[in-house]
Amino acid sequence: MNILIPLITPFNKNLQVDYKALNILLNYLENRQILVNSWIGEVYTLTLKEYIDILSRVKNKIDKEVTIYIPSYKYRLDELIDKIVEFYGKAEINDNIMIELDVSDWLCNNELCLSRVLSKTLNKITSTNVMLYVVGQYNAEIIELLRGIVRVYPEITHLVIDQSVSLPLLTRIIDSLDDIDREIELLIFGDYGFIIKNQLVHGIISPFELIRVLLNKKFNVDINNTLFLTRMTSYSYSIIGAIKTATNIIEPAIKEYLRPPFPTEFPGLREHITSILNYLIK
């Protein structure tokens, strides 16, 4: 089972990127598959310079293939792609790219608009694997739209589906790809993908896998999967708030600061997560 870890962005108390803490975090993750700049809410708080600086630090530290998250909005997409090409020094990169398409926006929920977003990226860079991550409410119309997009763009090798999709709808998405003349691998973005991984999906993009890795390396604790760790979100305002708090408890050098619009987590969350971690490491 292929497991990708979305990389959180450590900030200091002034809400600047803490590159020293990032390096500490990467020490824990040096042998893992990393999805760079991949927290959907958090990536939109980064400047273009910070985005590229983080990518640079990861590539200098991680001696293996990574996956780059390319958001549809926030930056001018053309400018972001140009910066990525400039960083690699060529149009053909040796890493995977994951392109976000937000179909929840009524201005961009048709094939023409989504094709325009894809074209801006794929006309400028090529990659071994292009992963298409569709964000928004899935329905029959969107599934047919996905099928058309995948058919038109042979560069797409993976389809990333959010864990909120029901199993019947997931099965329908898979069935819609049956007549595509190549294999499309399916990944679930979210830890609940572990439940169905053996039946339908090729991989999981697991936010809580980061905590599992930290527990294993810091306390030699090995848990089978990350489903138990999702209990950390019971009292949190956001998943990333819970993950950053847990990361700070395990490794204090990595602070739990969040940039707006993420709210500061309430004090009781730390106690709640500490009790879960103590249960695992005792």
pLDDT in tens, 48-80: 999 999 999 999 998 889 999 998 765 678 888
Distance CA 249, CA 59 (A): 27
pLDDT bin (cut points 50, 70, 90) of residue 35 is very high
Domains annotated for the chain, with CATH where assigned, are 2-223 (3.20.20.70)
For residue 73, what are its two tokens?
A: 């909005």
Distance CA 181, CA 33 (A): 28
For residue 114, what are its two tokens?
A: 């989504």
Residue 1 has pLDDT above 70, yes or no: no
pLDDT bin (cut points 50, 70, 90) of residue 254 is very high
Q: Quote the DSSP letter at residue 11.
A: B
Which range, 52-61, 97-106, 261-270, is most confident? Answer: 52-61
Give the residue-averaged pLDDT of 183-190. Answer: 88
Cα-based distances in Å from 137 to 101, 142, 216, 231, 257: 12, 8, 36, 25, 30
Name which residue leads in pLDDT, 92 or 116: 92
Concatenated DSSP letters for 152-163? H-TTEEEEEEET
Mean pLDDT across the chain, nearest whole number? 87
Residue 198 has pLDDT above 60, yes or no: no
Q: What pLDDT score does 247 carry?
A: 96
For residue 213, what are its two tokens?
A: 């890795």
Q: What pLDDT score does 73 carry?
A: 67
What is residue 83's three-state secondary structure? helix
Look at the pTM and tell me if it is higher than 0.95: no
Distance CA 73, CA 252 (A): 33
CB 156 within 8 A of CB 132: yes
